[in-house]
């Protein structure tokens, strides 16, 4: 599966019947030919059934009249796995040594709408030869009183879990209320009934060390007045190396020697940093 562009999420069953859940774009014919190659040409009598995980997950939940917690959790895992984005960053040995000797961290940022990247989503100095960064569309909405380049985001309101196509009211007391299904399907909406505020978004990610965290991907550089604000996360990320920077740091200038990775039409991408240059693998 990996050899033809897929990332395996889970495997169930045995040699008689096996189910493989994966993300990525896989050519079915290439997969079957690769399997035959591995089996030294012995095809036996294989039969393949291919299905979209989102459709399968929704159908499985729909068949259950009253799903229990475990069934709901399993269905949700299938849906999240189908929407997971995975970026692999490979760093050549000499570049890695130079970066570490000079105290550089690897940094990730996420695009929101047509705005510039402006928050360090994740920063880590624990990078190795191969580093994998993953995320799913699980968000939190918050508000802050300031946007100051070089400082870490200071969340001033409560955080509320929210999905694309949902709206949360920031009431006159400055509290974000539980989200409801309202607004554009591709956006997160804040109904600001409070006053001047900088809206911000957290997103869940699995970091290169395997830990998960819900950290800021965006803060509006300018405060907004009362009214409706729509924030649209875009599946593009920025990757670069920088000294003396932490997760959650706001910035307002272009990052030196960065690469923008576009995952709007695919779920996985691999890039190599070698001789101080980026190249797609």
| Cβ neighbours around 75 below 10 Å, total | 19
| Residues 6+ positions from 145 with CB-CB distance below 8 Å | 154, 156, 197, 198
Domains of the chain: which residue ranges? 2-82, 85-280
Q: What is the pLDDT of residues 43-75, one digit of tens each?
A: 555 666 666 665 565 555 566 667 665 655 555
Do the beta carbons of residue 235 and residue 262 sit within 8 Å? yes
Q: Does the structure show a pLDDT above 60 at 76?
A: no
pLDDT mean over 165-176 = 98
Q: 259-262 and 233-243: which strand pairing? A: antiparallel
75-89, 202-216, 228-242, 261-275 — which is least confidently predicted? 75-89
Both tokens of 57, joined, read 């997950």
**What was the pLDDT predicted at 218?**
99
Say if residue 128 is exposed, middle or buried (CB neighbours under 10 Å; 0-12, 13-18, 19+): exposed
Most confident by average pLDDT, 22-26, 29-33, 51-55, 233-237: 233-237
For the whole model, what pTM was predicted?
A: 0.76
């Amino acid at each position: 599966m990996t050899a033809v562009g897929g990332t395996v999420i889970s495997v169930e069953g045995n040699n008689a019947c096996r189910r493989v859940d994966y993300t990525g774009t896989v050519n079915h014919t290439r997969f079957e030919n690769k399997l035959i190659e591995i089996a030294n040409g012995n095809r036996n009598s294989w039969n393949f059934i291919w299905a979209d995980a989102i459709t399968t997950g929704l159908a499985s939940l729909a068949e259950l009249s009253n799903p229990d917690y475990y069934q709901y959790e399993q269905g949700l895992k299938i849906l999240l796995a189908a929407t997971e984005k995975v970026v692999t960053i490979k760093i050549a040995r000499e570049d890695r040594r130079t970066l570490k000797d000079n105290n550089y961290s690897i940094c990730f940022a996420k695009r929101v709408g047509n705005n510039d990247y402006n928050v360090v989503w994740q920063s880590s100095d624990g990078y190795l030869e191969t580093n994998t960064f993953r995320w799913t569309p699980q968000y939190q909405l918050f508000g802050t009183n300031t946007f100051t380049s070089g400082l870490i985001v200071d969340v001033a309101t409560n955080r509320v879990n929210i999905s694309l196509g949902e709206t949360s009211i920031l009431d006159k007391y400055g509290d974000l209320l539980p989200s409801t299904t309202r607004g554009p399907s591709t956006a997160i909406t804040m109904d600001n009934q409070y006053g001047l505020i900088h809206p911000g978004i957290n997103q869940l990610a699995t970091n290169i060390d395997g830990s998960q965290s819900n950290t800021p991907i965006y803060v509006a550089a300018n405060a907004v007045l009362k009214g409706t604000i729509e924030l649209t996360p875009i599946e593009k990320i920025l990757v670069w190396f920088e000294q003396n920077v932490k997760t959650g740091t706001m910035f307002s200038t272009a990052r030196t020697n960065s690469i923008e990775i576009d995952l709007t039409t695919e779920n996985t991408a691999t890039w190599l940093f070698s001789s101080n240059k980026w190249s797609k693998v």
